[in-house]
Structure 1
Amino acid sequence: MRALVLAVVLAVAGCSAQAAQETSGTAATPPDLSATDLAFVDLVIPQNESALAALALARPGSALRPVADRVAATYQAELVRLRDVLARAGRPESDQHEGHDMPGMITAAELASLEHSPDADEQLRTLLRTQFEEARTVARAELASGRHQPVRDLGASIDRTRAEFLALLGAA
């Protein structure tokens, strides 16, 4: 099911990029930045941002606090790289996924629940596990179909780090 959702997201992004190209009469993206690359970037940014909001709620002294700090540093560095890709492509940051309840996206309702939960560690662990697994799915789609090497490199890094984070999460 996740693969189907991802395929639809990537296809819609591809259609949007093609439509923009056709209506503007100019290339919508640099020749080596594909619609898949753009869809990947446009999806990972809000995934990382929603996860950062959840990571900020890890409580001091919690077994998850060191994991949250490590993950947050990685996600912040990835956001810099992702935004750099958009800037180099002359593309504004998209908010096309804002408010969407998608796999890997931590919602405002989940954040509110986490903030007030007596079992916050377990709830955070569940949210992060889902987010890490979905990030790997999205990264693998980029690796399978993306063209722009810097974005593919980021996809490989995300796949690798999320596997590491899943192991850390299991050990915390």
Structure 2
Amino acid sequence: MTKRSLIRRATAAAAAATGALVLAACGGNGNDSGAAHTGHNATTPSASASAPARQGEHNAADVTFAQGMIPHHQQAIEMADLAATRAESAEVKKLADEIKKAQDPEIKTLSGWLTSWGEQVPADGEGHSGHDMSGMMTAEEMKQLESSSGKAFDTAFLKLMVKHHEGAVAMAKSEQSEGAYQPAKDMAAAIITSQSAEIARMNALLDKS
């Protein structure tokens, strides 16, 4: 009985020790796994959330730029449309056509950004109400342009469009310095480059007239 009792006790002790080791191992794995899992969860969502946030990050300056540039471009296109039937200079007509081709796609892009941001997209034709923006024509100036033709139109168009472009360049520079959305800042840079070049062309045409 004594030997059997000792054997039983030894077996029980061994089993208990083995069980304790198993539990410790499982507990350790569970803790390690939990820590790793928790760490993984903490990292993955933030990484996945920060990636689109970086791509779509925008601020109030970006919204102002988009909402201001849309009617600004719309008015420039309206002015350019007049050149097709009123301008005398082939160079003025060519410039007007280039302005339309450049700015119409930008309006679509700007509108798409505002929609994706949940912001209001200016309605077509709001250019007349936005004459307080930099370089915008007043309703009276637009009427004067509409009523002119030939060389008088060419001169008025060039002078007004220089002023209009200068306003767009100023708006684009503000976006570059204050905006956060990289595609908008890239567009602003393109506007500064292209419209500054067009201002130089228009001033050269004015010098000839």
TM-score above 0.5: yes
Q: TM-score, normalised by structure 1?
A: 0.75
Q: CA deviation at 1:147?
A: 0.2
User: Does structure 1 retain, via aligned residues, the 8 Å contact 2:135–2:167?
Assistant: yes
Higher relative contact order (CA 8 A, sep 6+): 1
Question: 5+ residue gaps in structure 1?
Answer: 1-29
Question: 5+ residue gaps in structure 2?
Answer: 1-54
User: Does structure 2 retain, via aligned residues, the 8 Å contact 1:129–1:169?
Assistant: yes
Are 1:116 and 2:144 an aligned pair? no
For the pair shown, the structure with the greater C-alpha radius of gyration is 2
User: Does structure 2 retain, via aligned residues, the 8 Å contact 1:53–1:111?
Assistant: no
Partner Cα separation in structure 2 for residue 166 and residue 97 of structure 1? 21
- Which residue of 82, 87, 109 corresponds with 1:81? 109
Q: TM-score, normalised by structure 2?
A: 0.63
- Which residue of 133, 155, 169 corresponds with 2:188? 155
Q: Answer 1 or 2: which has greater helix percent.
A: 2
> Per-residue displacement from partner, 1:33-55 (whole Å, max 9, x unpaired)?
10000001111011111111111
CA RMSD of superposed structures (Å): 2.1
Aligned twin of 1:101:
131
Q: CA deviation at 1:162?
A: 0.8
Partner Cα separation in structure 1 for residue 174 and residue 74 of structure 2? 20
User: Does structure 1 retain, via aligned residues, the 8 Å contact 2:75–2:128?
Assistant: no
Q: Which amino acid aligns with 1:86?
A: L
Structure 2 SS opposite 1:136: helix
Alignment of 1:32-111 (within 5 A): 32-58=57-83, 59=86, 61-62=88-89, 63-94=91-122, 99-102=129-132, 103-111=134-142
